[in-house]
Every structure is written in C-alpha cells, then in structure tokens.
Structure 1
Amino acid sequence: MRSTERDGTIGIGALAGRFGLAAHVLRHWESTGLLAPARDAAGRRRYGPADVVRVAVILRGKEAGLSLEAIRTLVAGDHRVRSEVLRREAEELRARIAAAQASLALVECALGCAHEELTDCPHFRREVAERVRVDRSG
C-alpha cells in the first residue's frame, strides 16, 4: 500500500496533475506563502485535503482576476484586512466587467452592421465615441 493511500496525502505531481498545473506553479505558490505542504521523512512535499481545497481557492481567485497577494490576504488575513481587500477587488472587478461589457457591445454592433465600411455606420461611430468619452473621463 502506497503512503498516499495510507495517510490521505498526495505528492506534488499528483496534485499538480489534478488541477492541470505544472509542479513549479505549486512550488512558486509555496515560496510566496500560499501553500505550506507537509514533508515526508525523505523531505518530499505531501499535500492533504486542506491543501487541495487551498489550490482550488487560489485558482478560483486567479480566475476572478485577483493577484496572489490579494489571494494570500483572503486565505490568511484577519477579517478587517480581508474586507478591505475584498472591497477594493470588487471595485476593480466591476470596472473590468464594465469594460468587457462595453467591448462586447462594440463587437456586437460591428457584427450586426450592414455597412460595407464599418466606420460609416452611425451606430458603430456612437459606440466608439461613447468609449472614447468613458476613457477620457475615467
């Protein structure tokens, strides 16, 4: 029976493979304090169920556009600091979502345009002009 079956832990390769990551990503996260795996008698990293959850949290945070520093604060910071970071990150996410929605509107406008030359389309020109106004004021 392998030690992974006996003690419920897995090695770095197995954990990385489970999430489709390269092992060096997990080592990097460890070096930044996001992960702290146990070590076996030979010094090899051993990841338990809590580490698996932590990797999922890190990946979810990265998908949301959070920095590793923000993710570290989320998982290790106190409630007050965590709330401050989350408020700031929520603001930034709202701004990115608004920008993505504006970009999507522009693309959809262009897709639906019947004009031979896109810049001749009054609706497309309004969309572009609105984007320029937003960029200048923001």
Structure 2
Amino acid sequence: MKSSEEMSIGELADRFGLAAHVLRHWEDVGLLAPRRHANGRRRYGPADEARIAMILLAKDAGLGLDLIRLLFAATADRPARRALYREHHDRLAERIASLQASLSVLEHAMGCEAEDITACPDFRAAVASRIAGQRCG
C-alpha cells in the first residue's frame, strides 16, 4: 500500500481476515481512530494498518482489549508500561503452570496401567493435592 493510499473499513478488515464490525468495536473502545470523510465514512491509512497489526500481535500474546488500550496510552511512560507487561507476564506464567500440570495429569492417564484411573496412586495423589489446595485457598 502506498503511503498516500487509503482504504475503506471493508478493505482493511479483509486485509487482516477480520469482520468490519471488529474494527468498529476497536474504534468504540478507543483502540482505533480512523480519519473520516465529510460524509462520515471511515478511511484507513498506513498508520491504522500498523495499529491493527499491533493489536493483533498483542491479542496473540493473550492481552485483552482493555490492557492493550492501557499499553497504547502508556507509550511514553516506560515504568507504567513495564508494570503492565509484568502483571500480564505473571498471570500468563500462572496459567502456563496450571496448563502444564493438567498436561502432566493427562499424559499420565494416557499411559496409566490402572484398570480404573480413580484407583491409580498418582491420580489419587493429584486429587488429594487439589483438595488440600482448595482448603488453603
């Protein structure tokens, strides 16, 4: 796309494989601010295209729209931005640890020789650990 070219909402949405209503929603929540023609039609340029690519990268990293908006607002405030990244990192690390534990249980269950998984000593230990964790939480 040449720097002077502009696209309609449909053209830009198609470029990223999105529905036009997604771009409208992102505008509603403050993530996009396309230029408007006198007739009110949205026109998107290279900066909007880059912004959409950034939003999609952030979403791929597991960030929600509210956090993405905060990060865009904190572009000049490095400590605030880093604090937001750290908070998301810590939540993501907790989720990964939980998913790894779940994967471990499933891998054991797939290869377990017990006739009844509920009789397996390893599975029973995982259940007991979960019960103990609920009591503490």
Deviation digits for residues 15-55 of structure 1, max 9, x if unmatched?
A: 21222222111111101110111123432211122212211
User: Of the two structures, which has the highest relative contact order with CA contacts closer than 8 Å and spacing of 6 or more?
Assistant: 2
- Residue 6 of structure 2 aligns with which residue? 9
- AA aligned to 2:60 is E
Alignment partner of 1:111 is 2:105: no
Alignment partner of 1:59 is 2:56: yes
- AA aligned to 2:82 is S
Deviation digits for residues 38-79 of structure 1, max 9, x if unmatched?
A: 123432211122212211221222232222121012122122
- AA aligned to 1:73 is L
Calculate the TM-score normalised by the size of structure 2: 0.83
Q: Decide whether the 8 Å contact of 1:106 with 1:128 is kept in 2.
A: no
- d(CA) in 2 for partners of 1:8, 1:56: 17
CA 1:18–1:133 in structure 2 vs 1: closer, same or farther (change >3 Å)? farther
Map 1:1-138 onto structure 2 (within 5 A): 7-77=4-74, 78-137=77-136
Among all aligned residue pairs of Structure 1 and Structure 2, give the percentage whose two residues are the same amino acid: 53
Gap runs ≥5 in structure 2:
none
Calculate the TM-score normalised by the size of structure 1: 0.83
- AA aligned to 1:113 is C
Deviation at 1:101, TM superposition (A): 0.8
- d(CA) in 2 for partners of 1:10, 1:137: 56
Q: Decide whether the 8 Å contact of 1:73 with 1:81 is kept in 2.
A: no
- AA aligned to 2:101 is A
Gap runs ≥5 in structure 1:
none
